Structure 1
């Protein structure tokens, strides 16, 4: 993993925004929950600190799980089957990488 200073120069070392709204925080946690990016990668992607991502994960993890459960309940059995197949495919692709 490349250091932030290597990616963004000295500007990348500076502090970012000190306050974020909950919708942004939830978006970052949702991005983490999908399993596509690590905490460090999310911090770089959004220009935030690792500890912010970790704190938000703890704070919003339950909220995201409830939203996910509600979305799954709203799906038809066919959609749930398709989603399960896609999750398996994604897991297999991640193992290849």
Structure 2
């Protein structure tokens, strides 16, 4: 198995900043839940540590779900139909 530094360079060695505000943490969790990146990939992308991403997922998962639900309620019926079609297409592509 290759070392993280070999795969991702110096950025892959992990975080620099020791504390982050909640908006940044939520952004990382939202990126995890809506994207196709693993915890390790997100850690490299944002220059943070894997365990930070894992902890934030546990902490903010419910918050993100509430925001998503509110956004879905605010959609018009046509937007909801389009979103459902896109979700179905994404699921098919992931298979």
TM range (shorter): 0.7 to 0.9
Looking at both structures, which has the greater relative contact order when contacts are Cα pairs under 8 Å and sequence separation is at least 6? 2
Q: Which runs of no fewer than 5 residues in structure 2 stay unpaired?
A: none
Contact 1:26 1:60 in 2 (8 A): yes
The 3-state SS of whatever aligns with 2:18 is coil
Alpha-carbon RMSD across the aligned residues, in angstroms, is 2.0
The C-alpha deviation readout for 1:35-85, integer Å capped at 9, x for no partner, is 411111111111111110000001001110000000000001110010010
Number of residues of Structure 1 aligned to a counterpart in Structure 2: 95
Q: Which runs of no fewer than 5 residues in structure 1 stay unpaired?
A: none
> What TM-score results when the alignment is normalised by the length of structure 2?
0.88
Shift of 1:13: 2.6
Shift of 1:12: 4.3
